[in-house]
A and B are shown apart, each in its own frame.
Chain A
Amino acid sequence: MTSLTPRTRAAITVGRLAADASRRFGRGSGEMIGGKLALRVSAGALGELAAQRPCVCVSATNGKTTTTRLLARALGTLGPVVSNSGGANMAAGVLTALARPPFDAPAALEVDEIWLPKVAREVRPRAVVLLNISRDQLDRSNETRRIAALWRQLGAELPGATAVANCDDPLVAWAAEGWSRQLWVSAGQNWTADGMVCPSCAQLLHRNDFGWWCDCGLARPEPSVLVSGSDELVWFGRHVHAKLDLPGRVNLGNAAMAAAAAKLFGVEVDDALAAMTGLGDVEGRYKEVPLGPGRRGRMLLAKNPAGWVEMMELLGSSPPRPVVVDFNSQTADGRDPSWIWDVPFERLIGREVHVAGERRHDMSVRLAYAQVPHDVHPTAEQAAAGAGAALVDVVANYTAFRDLLVRSAARARGEPGPPTAAFGPAGVADAVATLDETAPADGYRRYDDRTGYASPDKYENHDGYDSRGGYRSEGGYRGDEGYPGRSGGADEAGSRP
């Protein structure tokens, strides 16, 4: 720490004091508020702290938290590692991670996709892991090509840095193409609707089972690492067994990306994968939590169409438990729920499905048109109580996931957990809104379906449409194909989820 300027040393002290205070007042880990104050004291703190240690940034629309955690495990085979947690993935959260001792330990840094250029310009990472780009929160003008262009430009500003990039995502491949070095990984792409048009020339891309290409010459690069099975990688020409405790092929892709980045630091792939085994949940994802008397839920996060398609894959490879869909549309989720019409919910046909959350009626209509029988409840706990099994899969979007984790943690501590009032979304969301670096001052009224939330016992539940004889279903709709034309944390909100 001796080579830091006095101003940055003071900044770190201020940040720690603020974080401690935040923790004492029960507002989460304090990473965001601490980092934010520290940056105010010393604007150069990020660069100064990063200069002491080798850094890797991890960015994506989906999977960045999990991949960062896997990378930290792999780098941990060499010695101490620092990393951000709680999804605090903007400048303040990154600073808090960098301010942790030991000051020469490598840093595995999750960075929000819009914030990546701003953070990486200061941090000067040795490598940047670029996983995927897909539609997410379009009400904030997060156009996919704009993000890819930001990433591409960043490469020119980081000479010598390696892009560890997913060659299956055309937006990522185009973004990484201009970097001085690339390590291409075939991590897969379940959701292709945002990869139909060439990011370079806007013509339609060609696709087949082996890749994608454009008449302008842009094409899928040949990967050095690829996911070749449910528990297998091809690693520079060699087959490597990979058995994770995290479920699903999507996480094997995340692990492949993390192992490739760790290789740049001298970690052998077998050591990296061994270190990743034993990690069963990440910030609540994939964790089993109590949902009330006799009910538990496995927590699955799906905050955009690509995330939902990944969770569909995961559900399809798991025991057929009842599914609880918990759906909100607060600022941190994106206010616009239209995107659920991009999700191939037809794949849930044949499952026991229950719907909850502030925008449950929007989800219910989507499922009705998908011909998925379901019922509707104000909260995930109430939905689980009505489920036909003790263990359910809960698929929730960002604030629904976060709030349910908070409530279940209270339940696990034995606190009487009224599922709604005391821990309802409004209280947590207000705390978050005051801290959210990007919360737009939009003056939107928070959606508040009072009949549902304030008096859950008076809520008139109704059966799913299967109980009605009135619908005809001639078929003609092929649920397994999605619809035509389609292929497919309790953080203190230092994160854009």
Chain B
Amino acid sequence: MSGLSATRIALIYPELLGTYGDGGNALVLERRLAWRGLPAEIVPVRAGDPVPADCDIYLLGGGEDEPQVLAAEGMRRTGGVTAAVQRGAVVLAVCAGYQVVGESFPGSDGLLHDGLGLLEIETRRSFGPAGEPVPPRAVGDIVVEPGPALGLPPLFGYENHGGRTRPVAGAGGEALGRVRRGVGDGTAAGTDGRVSGRVVGTYLHGPVLAQNPALADLLLTWVHGGLPALAEPPEIELLRAARARALEVA
């Protein structure tokens, strides 16, 4: 990719998928490029507007049930994210966004809704036998040990979701990682999230990249190839050390 053209970071439907600081991920990516002297541009895509297919990174955040359904319908109708992924664009989808990039998810209307199918996963209120109570909402701190192929340190975050998520039979890609604390996907596999190609989904919600700069840089590497070295802001390592102590992660 040319060093002259700005990396375009699409923030998808912040009014619908921006419940809790999700826009922070766009700022983290933009800053980490700018600190390296690489131009970047955040492209907010308002709900109702067509999703541009020419961005480099697409960010989907968390949202309440009804906005989540609207967001999925909007993206399916305009097709921009799907076209961009076929072109090799990067997607980070968190919380409700993670459910939306899968194949199907439940709405507050009790119906199943179609997702974008960018990840071969499905979300339900429960995968338990019919008649058994659905599991409680997963709310709290979460720590995920990423799969070794990703070469990432533990991911720290917060989760707040009702759905449970699993890969469909024969799904491509890998789990993002093993849950060391918290619930994550909430299945017997004990994992959270999915990575397939350049699409990443996770229940670590909101500004997940703020606490996990290595994940931010991984996404940027997918766009740029090798990145110039960055003298890491000291605040971030202090935060990671504080979280590791608080969450008892050695």
Contact = CB atoms under 8 A, between A and B. Distances in A.
A334 to B, nearest CB: 10
Interface string B18-54: 1111111011101100111101111110111000000
Contact of A369 (B22, B27, B158, B243): B27
Interface stretch (B114-122, B124-132, B144-152, B206-214): B206-214
Nearest to B236: A365
B168 interface: no
- From B15, B43, B70, residue with most partner A Cβ within 10 Å: B15
Interface string A382-398: 00000000000000000
A474 to B, nearest CB: 5
Interface string A1-35: 00000000000000000000000000000000000
A267 to B, nearest CB: 40
Given A336-B160, A341-B210, A202 B26 contact: no
Interface in A446-481: 447-452, 462, 465, 468, 470-474, 476-477
Per DSSP, chain B at the interface is mixed
Interface string B221-236: 0000000000101111
Given A341-B210, A462-B234, A451 B34 contact: no
B245 interface: yes
A197 B231 contact: no
Interface in B172-207: 205-207
Contacts of B211: 362, 365
A341 B23 contact: yes
Interface in A311-352: 335-342
A139 B205 CA distance: 12
B137 interface: yes
Contact of B64 (A143, A341, A370, A451): A143
Contacts of A365: 210-211, 233, 235-236, 239
B243 to A, nearest CB: 8
Contacts of A361: 235, 238-239, 242-243
Contacts of A367: 235
A152 interface: no
B101 interface: no
A338 B43 CA distance: 21
Interface residues of A, number: 53
B180 to A, nearest CB: 15
A145 B39 contact: no
Contact of A450 (B16, B43, B245): B245
A337 B97 CA distance: 20
Interface in A133-191: 135, 138-139, 141, 143, 145
A477 B36 CA distance: 15
B128 to A, nearest CB: 21
Nearest to B47: A204
Nearest to A482: B23
B139 interface: yes
Contacts of B41: 476
Contact of B231 (A335, A468, A485): A468
Contacts of A342: 18, 20-21, 23-24
Interface centre among A138, A369, A450, A472 (most CB of B within 10 A): A369
Contacts of B111: none
Nearest to B25: A341
Contacts of B21: 338-342
Interface of A: 135, 138-139, 141, 143, 145, 193, 196-197, 202, 204, 335-342, 361-362, 364-371, 376, 442, 444-445, 447-452, 462, 465, 468, 470-474, 476-477, 483-486
Interface of B: 11, 14-16, 18-24, 26-28, 30-31, 34-37, 39-44, 46-48, 64, 66-67, 70, 137, 139-141, 158, 160, 205-207, 210-211, 231, 233-236, 238-239, 242-243, 245-246
